Amino acid sequence: MDLPIVALLAQDGITNGAVYALLALALVLVFAVTRVIWVPSGEFVAYGTLTLAGLQLGKASGIAGMLAAMAVVAGLMEIAKAVRQREMRGLARSLALWAGVPLAIAAVIHFVAPLQPPFLVQILLTLTAVTALGPLFYRIAYQPIAEASVLVLLIVSVALHFTLLGLGLWFFGAEGSRTPPFTSASFEWGAVTVSGQSLLVVLTSLALIFALALFFNRTLYGRALRATAVNRVGARLAGISPTFAGTLTFTLGALVCAFCGVLIGPITTVYYDSGFLISLKGFVGAIIGGLSSYPVAAAGALLVGLLESFSSFWASAFKEVIVFTLIIPVLLWRSLTTHHHEEEE
């Protein structure tokens, strides 16, 4: 193994690690605020890539229909809630938000897709559509049982994972897709070649991580999400509704996943069922961070990326074994060094 190979492997590992890191952050965020272990996050990544690939071919895929269907369900749930509570005042507003906005997004995608808009517009459409799925899923599947135990929420997550997998096969077909590269430039540093695509993925991930950090530390809404994660009762007493926090969290989480999907599209072929393994690697990173520390989770995810890259060179047959076995010593070490704290109620 010589320097150029090491450099290429490191570059490959860091590029993938950056995507895993984004996912790890999304997983930590969602778990901290809503206690949901977000198994279907990977499907959001795959939907991101495949929606963009569909738009490339001038197709709105199934995602427009899915948004519309979920908008109708969410709208009906809002009506049912208003009738149950005999409180009609906020209904118009919540209907506009839960049914109107997603229906509008679905309509835009449906009508704009065949026009083959410029690549940047396609990316924006993809991000909007997949991001809109996040809060809709929260509203329909998680919010009604938001106070349930972590285990129940996990089971719902697993069910959603399989639902999205099935829908993904239906919408996008069994075969994979790629999206065109953002850039074909490459840079030479002595013997080391860095591809512009990798650089772009890493820089975009860093920018997104930086933006998220700003959001959580500087804005009131960001701090409200952190407060909910730290102390749910305290947050409620300060007037921060868990429903609001959950909706915002799932919006952010879905946005990050859609972003990942757009980033990996040009690097790899994505299938309707690719998401799970990708999110599982982000999850290993998140576990290293104890599902609570953002920097450790990101570092863990980067480690997963590097480990994966180097083990695929040395022992490709055992690559997954090596990556997922990593989780055992980490869990062992965590359970020995950290105090077991029960959920505070």
Q: DSSP alpha helices (H): ranges in 35-100?
A: 41-56, 63-85, 91-95
SS3 assignment, position 283: helix
Q: How far is the CB of 187 from other proteins (least distance, A)?
A: 15
Here's the x/- map for other proteins, 16-35, by CB under 8 A: it reads as x--x----------------
Q: Report which of 137, 205, 171 is spatially closest to residue 63, judged by C-alpha positions.
A: 171
Asked whether position 293 contacts other proteins by CB under 8 A, the answer is no
- Residues 226, 90: Cα–Cα separation, whole Å: 27
- Residues 282, 298: Cα–Cα separation, whole Å: 9
Asked whether position 274 contacts other proteins by CB under 8 A, the answer is yes
Q: How far is the CB of 10 from other proteins (least distance, A)?
A: 10
Asked whether position 308 contacts other proteins by CB under 8 A, the answer is yes
- Residues 257, 36: Cα–Cα separation, whole Å: 16
Here's the x/- map for other proteins, 116-145, by CB under 8 A: it reads as ------------------------------
- Residues 300, 43: Cα–Cα separation, whole Å: 21
Choice from 38, 142, 271, 294 touching other proteins (CB under 8 A)? 271
The amino acid at residue 130 is V
Asked whether position 269 contacts other proteins by CB under 8 A, the answer is yes
Q: Which run of H or of E encompasses 204?
A: helix 196-218
Q: How far is the CB of 332 from other proteins (least distance, A)?
A: 26
Choice from 319, 324, 327, 330 touching other proteins (CB under 8 A)? 319
Asked whether position 152 contacts other proteins by CB under 8 A, the answer is no
Nearer to other proteins, 231 or 335 (CB): 231
Contacts of 345 (CB under 8 A, 6+ apart): none
Q: Are 63 and 51 in contact (CB under 8 A)?
A: yes
Tell me which DSSP letter residue 205 carries.
Answer: H
The amino acid at residue 241 is S
Q: How many CB atoms sit inside 10 A of residue 114's CB?
A: 11
Asked whether position 277 contacts other proteins by CB under 8 A, the answer is yes
Q: Which run of H or of E encompasses 193?
A: strand 192-195
Tell me which DSSP letter residue 342 carries.
Answer: P
Nearer to other proteins, 5 or 332 (CB): 5
Here's the x/- map for other proteins, 221-260, by CB under 8 A: it reads as --xx-xx--xx-xxxxxxxxx--x----------------
Q: How far is the CB of 336 from other proteins (least distance, A)?
A: 23
Contact range with other proteins by CB under 8 A, out of 91-99, 101-109, 170-178, 246-254: 170-178
Residues forming the site for other proteins (CB under 8 A)? 5, 8-9, 12, 15-16, 19, 85-87, 166, 169-171, 173-178, 220, 223-224, 226-227, 230-231, 233-241, 244, 264, 267-269, 271, 273-274, 276-278, 308-314, 316-317, 319-320
